[in-house]
Amino acid sequence: MSGLFRFGISIDKNLLDKFDRLIREKKYTNRSEAFRDLIREELVKRAWREGKQVAGAITFIYDHHQRDLLSRIVDTQHHYQKLIISTQHIHLDHENCLEIVAVKGNSREVQKLADTLKSIKGVRHGTLSMSSIGKGME
């Protein structure tokens, strides 16, 4: 079951001061929220490692003048359409496009889709941003 809970942390004053400075820089307004985010980051890493249901974004750059490239990108996205929620397309300049594909599904399949998109000749840089489907991250 869910519900708010409170527990105590023992910490050396020196280390706490450093933590406070760190979270101020990262714009946190309270320690609990900073702490919860540290936990969530570990949980997300683990969900991806263990082949759980995840969400995320695949980001890549390409030159839209290469016509074959466009159709290869679209074909790949159709082949994996089960994983793809939507795609955002941005014209960075006359040549370069940034495409961001929002994905959700099994982490290993999402990884495979990211690899496939990145390996297409003409795709100049691809990254996979690993996030969560949100459940259990409250």
- The footprint of a second copy on residues 44-63 (CB under 8 A) is 44, 46, 55-57, 59-63
**How wide is the angle at C-alpha 136 spanned by C-alphas 56 and 100, nearest 5°?**
10
Q: Distance between CA 116 and CA 76 in Å, rounded?
A: 8
Residues in contact with a second copy, counted by CB under 8 A, come to a total of 82
Q: Is 133 in the site for a second copy (CB under 8 A)?
A: yes
> What residues from 65 to 84 belong to the interface with a second copy (CB under 8 A)?
none
Strand order in the sheet with 96-106: 84-91, 96-106, 53-63, 123-131
As measured in angstroms, the least distance from the Cβ of 17 to a second copy is 9
Which residue type does 20 have? D
As measured in angstroms, the least distance from the Cβ of 15 to a second copy is 6
Q: Distance between CA 104 and CA 131 in Å, rounded?
A: 9
> What residues from 101 to 120 belong to the interface with a second copy (CB under 8 A)?
102, 104, 115-116, 118-119
> What residues from 17 to 46 belong to the interface with a second copy (CB under 8 A)?
18-19, 22-23, 25-44, 46
